Amino acid sequence: MTTAEELTVGDVVAEASVELSRDALVRYAGASGDFNPIHYRDDVAASVGLPGVLAHGMLTMGVAVQPVVDWIGDPGRIVDYQVRFTRPVVVDPESGARLEITAKVGKLDADADADADADPGTARIDLTVAYDGQTVLGKAQVVVRL
3-state secondary structure 64-81: HHHHHHHHHCCHHHEEEE
Report the alpha-carbon angle 30-31-37, nearest 5: 40
- Predicted pLDDT at 116: 42
Give me the chain's average pLDDT, please.
93
- Calculate the CA 119 to chain-centre distance: 25
State pLDDT tens for residues 28-43.
Answer: 999 999 999 999 999 9
Dihedral sign of CA atoms 84, 143, 106, 1 in order: negative
Give yes or no for a contact between 124 and 98, defined as CB atoms under 8 angstroms apart.
no
Full set of structural domains in the chain with CATH = 4-145 (3.10.129.10)
Extended strands (E) in the chain: 12-20, 78-85, 97-109, 122-131, 134-135, 137-145
The pTM for the full model equals 0.90
Dihedral sign of CA atoms 99, 70, 78, 36 in order: positive
State pLDDT tens for residues 55-72.
Answer: 999 999 999 999 999 999
Confidence of residue 110 (pLDDT cuts 50, 70, 90): confident
* Amino acid, res. 124: R
Confidence of residue 119 (pLDDT cuts 50, 70, 90): low
